[in-house]
Amino acid sequence: MNASVTPSTVVPDADLYLPRMARILEILPMSAREKFLRLELPAPLGHRPGQFVMLSCLGIGEAPISISCGPRTDNILEVVIRDAGSLTHHIHGLKPGQYLGVRGPFGSGFDLEAWSGQHLLCVVGGLGLAPMRSLIQPVLANLESFSGFTLISGCRTPAEELYREEVRGWEQLAQGNSKVRVIRLVDRTDNQPWDGRVGLVTAPLHTLEMDPANTVVAMCGPPVMYKFVILELKARGLGDAQIHVDLERRMKCGVGKCGHCQINHVYCCQEGPVFRFDRIAHLAEALQ
Ligand SMILES: Cc1cc2nc3c(=O)[nH]c(=O)nc-3n(C[C@H](O)[C@H](O)[C@H](O)COP(=O)(O)OP(=O)(O)OC[C@H]3O[C@@H](n4cnc5c(N)ncnc54)[C@H](O)[C@@H]3O)c2cc1C
Ligand code: FES
């Protein structure tokens, strides 16, 4: 150790613990419970798809929130916030021009380079479209790197659908490009207008045309959805190492210090939130 540096004078990497202040450029309702926020950071975030940030408001608190935009070179960060409690409710009441604290990016994210040449199947449930969009955007911008792309996206009712216009744009792209497929589902229509399918995200998997040997799967949604989707994928011949799941756990520090996010001995904030399924399939608490 350098003689001038004793343990008591070691300053931790300020980026880990010190929020940067981000200005709200846009805050728009997406559904009854979710709002979309576009934030301007002091510098580019430099994230990978599937990573998360810790968002904070002074005097209220801090929470892990998925990054919802693909990697970008400007200072913009996009997130979707569900009104779930004290902090998220407070954020829903903020206006453009006000500020939020941002730490991160944290976590593993999706390893897009490792999937080059394969068919990417994304299975999404509800709010899972927020993190999955950070993957879909760069994939659609670099389709030549993949043999194909399929999105199966479900939510409970038409009123809960997120990124409506953008998903329809992806659907239009699919109409002119045989490498792209987009399947939208709701559990029930609740008598609202709906131009997609009705059913669970597992239903299309029975008959989906796919080459199991050349397919990689990314999933974002509730753990109960993962259990049933994984059963279907295995029935179609896919192995655990081809399946990637985004797991949410209670988090406090986001940097491997507090233990709040542990799945058995695995720290979700550092190794996750994206895991290749063979890494966690044997852990009893993984899909709870
Ligand atoms: C990696 C990761 C990414 C996330 N991404 C998003 C996102 O993109 N958008 C979004 O809206 N939310 C996301 N969440 C969930 C979000 O962090 C919680 O909803 C938030 O912490 C609630 O904070 P609060 O102060 O508003 O609510 P609190 O007052 O702390 O809690 C309100 C309710 O939410 C429950 N809760 C708290 N944390 C979680 C959690 N991690 N999972 C499930 N329930 C929880 C509490 O038990 C309580 O019932 C993510 C969580 C993780 C771990
Ligand atoms: S959130 Fe603190 S160790 Fe993971």
Pocket of ligand 1 (CB under 6 A): 52, 61, 63-66, 79-82, 84-88, 127, 130, 248-251, 273
Answer for the pair 39, 100: CB distance below 8 angstroms, yes or no: yes
Q: Ligand 2 pocket test: which of 106, 261, 265, 275 has the largest number of ligand atoms within 8 Å of its C-beta?
A: 261
Tell me the backbone φ, ψ of residue 163, rounded to 5 degrees.
50, 45
Give the ligand whose atoms come closest to the C-alpha of residue 268: 2
Domain architecture of the chain: domains with CATH: 14-106 (2.40.30.10), 112-280 (3.40.50.80)
Task: Specify the pLDDT at position 8.
Answer: 41
Instruction: Give every CB contact of residue 236 below 8 A, 6+ residues apart in sequence.
Output: 205, 208, 210, 212
Model pLDDT, residue 14: 59
Find, among 142, 279, 147, 151, the residue nearest to 213 by Cα: 147
In 3-state terms, what secondary structure has residue 76? strand
Dihedral through CA 225, CA 229, CA 230, CA 232, nearest 10? 150
The Cα–Cα gap between 225 and 234 comes to: 14
**How many whole angstroms separate alpha carbon 215 and alpha carbon 229?**
14
User: Does any ligand 2 atom lie closer than 6 A to the CB of residue 260?
Assistant: yes
Cβ of 259 less than 6 Å from ligand 2: yes
pLDDT score for 13: 59
Indicate the pTM of the whole model. Answer: 0.92
Mutate to test the pocket of ligand 2, among 255, 263, 265 (most ligand atoms within 8 A of CB): 255
- Could you tell me where the DSSP H helices lie in 2-128? 14-17, 86-92
Atom of ligand 2 nearest to the CA of 254: 1
**What whole-number distance in Å separates Cα of residue 69 and Cα of residue 135?**
8
Mutate to test the pocket of ligand 2, among 65, 258, 264, 266 (most ligand atoms within 8 A of CB): 258
| Distance set, CA 164 to CA 129, 167, 168, 174, 217 (Å) | 11, 5, 6, 15, 23
Pairing assessment for the beta strands 215-220 and 262-263 based on DSSP bridges? unpaired
- The tens-digit pLDDT sequence of the chain (288 residues) is 333 334 444 444 557 889 999 999 999 999 999 999 999 999 999 999 999 999 999 999 999 999 999 999 999 999 999 999 999 999 999 999 999 999 999 999 999 999 999 999 999 999 999 999 999 999 999 999 999 999 999 999 999 999 999 999 999 999 999 999 999 999 999 999 999 999 999 999 999 999 999 999 999 999 899 999 999 999 999 999 999 999 988 888 888 888 998 988 889 988 989 999 999 888 777 777
Structure tokens at 283: 């852990």
CB 105 within 8 A of CB 45: yes
